[in-house]
Amino acid sequence: MSAKFLKETKDGTLLLVYVQPKAKKNEIEGIDEWRGRLKVKIKAPPVEGKANKELVKFLSKLLGAEVELVRGETSREKDLLVRGLRVEEVKEKLEGTLLRT
């Protein structure tokens, strides 16, 4: 898996995602090579921060770590900080998810 959407920081890993709100279910769809971001589908609509909250909750549970939205609150392109996990750890957890889809 190419990891262009993962960047190491002193606080953890920066995860670059492209979000599709109002989906049938929350899921990782794959890698958007054109944007260099992980494509994530979220059930919640993009109103009043609902999709952002659900995205953070979904990724926190999936990765087993604290996730914080750091950029892109009103955009489909978002940067999230995965606290306490290195790039390799996030990559491993995501690869397991991508293999199941």
Burial class (CB in 10 A: 0-12, 13-18, 19+), 2: exposed
- What letter represents residue 4's amino acid? K
Q: What is the pLDDT of residue 96?
A: 78
Give per-residue pLDDT as tens, 41-61.
Answer: 999 999 999 999 999 999 999
Q: What is the pLDDT of residue 36?
A: 93
Q: What is the CATH number of domain 6-100?
A: 3.30.1200.10
The average pLDDT across 7-18 equals 96
Q: What is the pLDDT of residue 3?
A: 76
Q: What is the pLDDT of residue 99?
A: 60
User: Going along the chain, which residue ranges are E strands?
Assistant: 6-8, 12-20, 27-32, 37-41, 67-71, 77-83
Q: What is the pLDDT of residue 12?
A: 96
